[in-house]
Amino acid sequence: MNKAFNSKQFRQVLGNFPTGVVIVSGIDKSGLPQGVTIGSFTSVSLDPPLVGFFPNFTSASWPAIASSGSFCVNVLAEDQGELCWRFAKETVGRYEGVQWTPAPSGSPKIAGAIAYIDCTIESSSQVGDHLFVVGRVQHLEDVSGSDKAMVFFRGAVAGVSPLT
Ligand SMILES: Cc1cc2nc3c(=O)[nH]c(=O)nc-3n(C[C@H](O)[C@H](O)[C@H](O)COP(=O)(O)O)c2cc1C
């Protein structure tokens, strides 16, 4: 760690940057649904259509999802705070009571999300203590009528809608 700041300060200052919140989902080798809350999701390229995110080396879910070669990004709505924390903090029962349908890749589309981005894994590279995973978008859809997204800011979640 840099001598000018410690890891707590790093997290605190970076927490001033608001992000959207997604659950990256997939099906593991046993056929079970897996998923993890991710704030580092971003659009990367239009042509070819690429998106990306940064899972920690310590992530248990990502290797299980990656074994299938694909994943689905579930963009969370404002009212999915409980799912956000469950898929970040609980290690078992993340899908208990959760309604989902398979995306074309088979990865779960979690009911109530405002958009779904179904991807195959294009590349995965090491960046510090994280991986940079790039996905090639194969299918996508947004859900009409769902217009309040979740944002993560200073350790808490809130809702945001267009200003129009
Ligand atoms: C709002 C929010 C955003 C998060 N973003 C990321 C992220 O971008 N990358 C990451 O590795 N973990 C992120 N996490 C933490 C993971 O969700 C958490 O470490 C989880 O327990 C990992 O589960 P796993 O070990 O099953 O993969 C985030 C958590 C929250 C609440």
- What the block records as the tokens of 117 is 């981005």
Q: Considering the entire predicted model, what is its pTM?
A: 0.97
Rounded to the nearest whole angstrom, what is the distance from the C-alpha of residue 164 to the centroid of ligand 1?
Answer: 32
pLDDT tens, residue by residue, 80-139: 999 999 999 999 999 999 999 999 999 999 999 999 999 999 999 999 999 999 999 999
Closest C-alpha among 133, 132, 135, 142 to residue 109: 142
Q: Which ligand 1 atom is nearest residue 62's CA?
A: 27
As a whole number, mean pLDDT of residues 42-46 equals: 98
Task: Say how far apart CA 157 and CA 18 lie, in whole Å.
Answer: 9
Rounded to the nearest whole angstrom, what is the distance from the C-alpha of residue 36 to the centroid of ligand 1?
Answer: 6
Q: Where are the domains of the chain?
A: 18-41+60-120+142-153
pLDDT of 23 above 80: yes
Residue 73: per-residue pLDDT: 99
Q: Which ligand 1 atom is nearest residue 87's CA?
A: 17
Q: Is domain 18-41+60-120+142-153 annotated with CATH 2.30.110.10?
A: yes
DSSP bridge pairs for 118:
72, 139
